[in-house]
Amino acid sequence: MFDEVWRSQGEDVAPGVAAALLHLAAAGDQPVLVVSRPRPPEAPERPRVRWANATLAALLGAAPGDLLDLAVGRVLRGADAPGALVRERCTRFTVEAVTASGEVRATEVAAWPVPERISGFGAVSERLRVDVALAAEDHWVLQLLSPDDERSRAALRAAEERFATLAQDSPVPTLVSDVGARLSRVNDAFASLLGVPAQELCGTGWLTHVLDDERGRVAQAVADVLAGERVVFDTRLRTSAGQVRWVTVRLAPSRTPGYGAGFVGTVEDVTDRRARENRLAYQAQHDLLTGLPNRLALLEHLGELLPDAACPDAAGVPLPPVHPAAPVGVLMVDLDDFKTVNDGLGPEAGDAVLVEVARRLVRTVRTGDLVSRPGGDEFVLVCHDLPDESAVEATARRVLDALVAPVEVNGLRLRVAASVGVVLLSGEPGGAEEVVRDVGIATHEAKAAGGGRWALLDEDVRQRARRSLRLVADLREALARGTLDVHYQPVVRPGTPTRPHAQLLSVEALARWRHPELGPIDPATFIEVAERANLVPALDAHVLAVACRDLATWRAEATAAGLPHVPRRVAVNVSAVSLSADGFADGVRRTVAAAGLRLEDVCLEVTETALASDLRACRTVLEELRRDGALVAIDDFGTGYSSLAYLVDLPADHLKVDRSFVRDLRGGRGTGAAGAARGGPARAVAAAIVSLARTLGLDVVAEGVETHEQNDVLVELGCEAVQGYLYARPMTREDLWRVLCDGGTLAPQPAGLPSPRQVPA
């Protein structure tokens, strides 16, 4: 209002106009006052109130006259600040209005310099009781600004009331500051969180509940929110009952027009959640039985000690290995025969032993060393400062000695021996998992050496174990991807001196693995790997599926090509674990049917040892499949089971004479004692096996036939099927197809000269 008039009139405002303006101001409801200050070059003095209207006086809780001559800074703090009142232009600034009762309220002020030339100002002044010495002083008109529209003010008030109502009844502790750091309102939830009446918390009362060492941080957060930032922070409050509660405080800035910066906030009691989180964090890192750090914590601890291979320096050059001042030793303690305790005396006894062992181990190490229980009956110790082998030995011995005294469980004195494996962290990059694996290898060595002793990881052992672990992983992957191949070795009706060519009868499927980097792996090796990793059932199933598919293909193509001869069936090797696995028989049926074959088209080769080890279970499965048409062969016959009694009623169709009996067969024609004498003991055994098989009604297949001489003896003994390098090595499906194209006949190959179609085993 003043602003416009003054500006439009410039310096030439007439005394009448000035008087009218002041009159207007006196009657208006805008809080207005006039201040003045001696004009330079007088000594600078603070501006003083020269006049105030009734609205302003009421606002400050005073009579207008009470305000006269007061330094303006006393009623409007900040109005006398440098730069607030200038002669050159109108200004706007925030002051704190101080009421008669001492209450302080931030408010915005507009100040207009009064032009010097209103000479009539003094004349009206008397009536308005403004005492001014115009000539000597500079004057300003100050207006306290407030929301100028009554409607918007009412709306604001209503909104504020709504907010207050919501907050008041809200279960969420809520606080409001209209201006500055002092709270103007808090709701019941906040009051009851701290257990004190709301009014005690208003002002700065709530800050006294913040724990001493956190108060600085909280004050900073409040300063930030007053500067316009949203802040969220966790802190601790002490309740009136002395309890400490963890809270998450969320503050958002708020501005009341005419007042200034304040904030609103909520306080969430997170004590229980934090406790739960802490408990979970503890559980995630600890073994609950012994309270020791668990596997995860161990790996993290080791990870901190190991150089980070995946973290090259800025130039991309891998960082050199870290060499700790003295090597860190990792010891694995594995209890010998713990299973006996657990199984024999029950899990509670086992637990008691573990707890006692944990207690003793903790006492053997130095501060800063770690004792963890990654699982089962294994403990892993991480010991710093093992400068040489004698220090390693001393530590390992200390651990073994700690376990010498028997452990008392339920009145029993149990001896717990242990094996200790040790690795020293070399500073070479490598993962924590690898360290644990290596120390496991060392422990295994100690155990293999008889238990109750310690072993430092040997480089050779490490290499071997790593290679074998790698093979396990790679074989698992090859099986998952179906990249394992199958070769076929013909089983033939042997040739005779008059008719030297052999005739293909069936084929035996043999698994082949070409490792992507290591090349072909010997079946004996990868089958052992598969056994260790429990992959044999998957291997057998894979070979069966491929073999069925190939047989079906050969048959279809042979029919199409008008070929006279196809393998009668395909034989697959089935190990005992496969046989005793759940659903084996159904799996075989499904695979065979999927290839469009019948069970009659497959022969399952089972070793004697497999049959003997789990006779009843295997027998049932085999009987079932045989009843439905499948054939069963006893593989490697003669090498396994010592008693022949099991042969009676054996669910089998063929006996495959192991090649160790065939190997030593020598010529010496004739049967009976004379023949046996001439052919040596091998011939006698072979003759006995053939005749035994005949008696039991089983067909005989002789394996490993490599020479004419062996072939001829077997023929003479009445063996009607043979398998061996003499006729064919295991070959690819394509090579077998060529054999079929040749009419299924195979010429004997002189020993040691593999034909082009022969593939090395």
DSSP, res 494: P
Closest CA to 210 of 169, 247, 241: 247
Picked from ligand C2E, Ca ion, none, the partner binding residue 644 (CB below 5 to 8 A depending on kind) is none
Q: Which of residues 299-328 bind ligand C2E (CB under 6 A)?
A: none
Counting Cα atoms < 13 Å in the Cβ hemisphere of 706 gives 13
Least distance (Å) from ligand C2E to the CB of residue 532?
14
* Helix pair 389-402, 347-364: axis angle to 10 deg: 140
Give dist(CA 554, CA 742) in Å, integer: 13
Establish if 605 lies at the interface with Ca ion (CB under 5 A).
yes
Q: Give the residue with the Cβ less far from Ca ion, 111 or 527.
A: 527
Establish if 573 lies at the interface with Ca ion (CB under 5 A).
yes
Q: Give the residue with the Cβ less far from Ca ion, 24 or 692.
A: 692
100 sits in the region (left: phi over 0; alpha: psi -120 to 50; else beta) called alpha
Establish if 664 lies at the interface with ligand C2E (CB under 6 A).
no
Interacting residue with ligand C2E among 307, 327, 374, 724 (CB under 6 A)? 724
Q: Give the residue with the Cβ less far from Ca ion, 550 or 605.
A: 605
| Contact pattern from residue 524 through residue 553 relative to ligand C2E, giving x for each residue in contact according to CB under 6 A and a dash for the rest | x--x--------x--xx--x----------
Q: Which of residues 621-640 bind ligand C2E (CB under 6 A)?
A: 635-636
For residue 184, give every residue at least 6 positions away whose Cβ sits within 8 Å of its Cβ, in sequence order, or none.
176, 177, 178, 202, 262
Establish if 138 lies at the interface with Ca ion (CB under 5 A).
no
Establish if 520 lies at the interface with ligand C2E (CB under 6 A).
no
Establish if 731 lies at the interface with ligand C2E (CB under 6 A).
no
| Structure token digits, residue 127 | 């009536």
| Structure token digits, residue 553 | 């293909």
Query: Which amino acid, residue 457?
Result: L
Picked from Ca ion, ligand C2E, none, the partner binding residue 543 (CB below 5 to 8 A depending on kind) is ligand C2E
DSSP state letters, 562-575: T-S---S-EEEE--
> Which single residue is written with the structure tokens 């003669």?
638
Counting Cα atoms < 13 Å in the Cβ hemisphere of 211 gives 13
Q: Give the residue with the Cβ less far from ligand C2E, 34 or 634.
A: 634
Of 258-266, 349-357, 721-729, 752-760, the window that binds ligand C2E (rule: CB under 6 A) is 721-729
For residue 178, give every residue at least 6 positions away whose Cβ sits within 8 Å of its Cβ, in sequence order, or none.
184, 256, 259, 262
Establish if 140 lies at the interface with ligand C2E (CB under 6 A).
no
Q: Give the residue with the Cβ less far from ligand C2E, 174 or 607.
A: 607
Least distance (Å) from ligand C2E to the CB of residue 714?
12
Interacting residue with Ca ion among 636, 712, 716, 735 (CB under 5 A)? 636
| Contact pattern from residue 595 through residue 614 relative to ligand C2E, giving x for each residue in contact according to CB under 6 A and a dash for the rest | ----------x---------
Establish if 96 lies at the interface with Ca ion (CB under 5 A).
no
Other CB atoms closer than 10 Å to residue 131's CB: what's the count? 13
Strand pairing of 699-703 and 721-723?
A: parallel
Picked from ligand C2E, Ca ion, none, the partner binding residue 539 (CB below 5 to 8 A depending on kind) is ligand C2E
Establish if 723 lies at the interface with Ca ion (CB under 5 A).
no
Picked from ligand C2E, Ca ion, none, the partner binding residue 575 (CB below 5 to 8 A depending on kind) is ligand C2E
Q: Give the residue with the Cβ less far from Ca ion, 703 or 735.
A: 703
Q: Give the residue with the Cβ less far from ligand C2E, 43 or 524.
A: 524
Q: Which of residues 686-715 bind ligand C2E (CB under 6 A)?
A: 704-706
3-state secondary structure of 605: strand
Establish if 573 lies at the interface with ligand C2E (CB under 6 A).
yes
Least distance (Å) from Ca ion to the CB of residue 636?
4
Q: What are phi and psi of 28, to 5 degrees?
A: -70, 170
Picked from ligand C2E, Ca ion, none, the partner binding residue 730 (CB below 5 to 8 A depending on kind) is ligand C2E
* Bridge partners (DSSP) listed for residue 14: none
3-state secondary structure of 523: helix
For residue 217, give every residue at least 6 positions away whose Cβ sits within 8 Å of its Cβ, in sequence order, or none.
233, 235
Q: Give the residue with the Cβ less far from ligand C2E, 94 or 573.
A: 573
* Bridge partners (DSSP) listed for residue 249: 233, 267
- Integer CA distances (angstroms), 393 to 328, 345, 387, 448, in order: 13, 33, 11, 19
> Total number of residues binding Ca ion (CB under 5 A)?
5
Picked from Ca ion, ligand C2E, none, the partner binding residue 403 (CB below 5 to 8 A depending on kind) is none
Least distance (Å) from ligand C2E to the CB of residue 704?
4
Establish if 378 lies at the interface with Ca ion (CB under 5 A).
no
Other CB atoms closer than 10 Å to residue 40's CB: what's the count? 9
Picked from ligand C2E, Ca ion, none, the partner binding residue 511 (CB below 5 to 8 A depending on kind) is ligand C2E
| Structure token digits, residue 239 | 């309740």
For residue 452, give every residue at least 6 positions away whose Cβ sits within 8 Å of its Cβ, in sequence order, or none.
336, 400, 417, 418, 419
| Contact pattern from residue 89 through residue 108 relative to ligand C2E, giving x for each residue in contact according to CB under 6 A and a dash for the rest | --------------------
Establish if 635 lies at the interface with Ca ion (CB under 5 A).
yes
Counting beta carbons within 10 angstroms of the beta carbon of residue 692, is it exposed (0 to 12), middle (13 to 18) or buried (19 or more)?
middle
Least distance (Å) from ligand C2E to the CB of residue 628?
21
Least distance (Å) from ligand C2E to the CB of residue 759?
10
Q: Give the residue with the Cβ less far from ligand C2E, 49 or 510.
A: 510
Of 274-282, 415-423, 553-561, 724-732, the window that binds ligand C2E (rule: CB under 6 A) is 724-732
Strand pairing of 654-657 and 631-637?
A: parallel
Q: Are 79 and 145 in contact (CB under 8 A)?
A: no
Longest dimension (CA), the chain: 161
> Total number of residues binding ligand C2E (CB under 6 A)?
24
Q: How far apart are the first and last CA of the chain?
A: 108
Strand pairing of 174-177 and 185-186?
A: antiparallel
Least distance (Å) from Ca ion to the CB of residue 659?
7
Establish if 506 lies at the interface with ligand C2E (CB under 6 A).
no
Closest CA to 254 of 280, 300, 222: 222
Interacting residue with ligand C2E among 107, 256, 342, 489 (CB under 6 A)? 489
Give dist(CA 657, CA 701) in Å, integer: 6
For residue 711, give every residue at least 6 positions away whose Cβ sits within 8 Å of its Cβ, in sequence order, or none.
494, 495, 705, 722, 726, 748
Q: Give the residue with the Cβ less far from Ca ion, 507 or 739.
A: 507
Least distance (Å) from ligand C2E to the CB of residue 659?
6
Establish if 523 lies at the interface with ligand C2E (CB under 6 A).
yes
Q: Are 411 and 431 in contact (CB under 8 A)?
A: no
- Would you tell me which residues interact with ligand C2E (CB under 6 A)? 489, 510-511, 523-524, 527, 536, 539-540, 543, 573, 575, 605, 635-636, 659, 704-706, 723-725, 730, 761
- Would you tell me which residues interact with Ca ion (CB under 5 A)? 573, 605, 635-636, 703
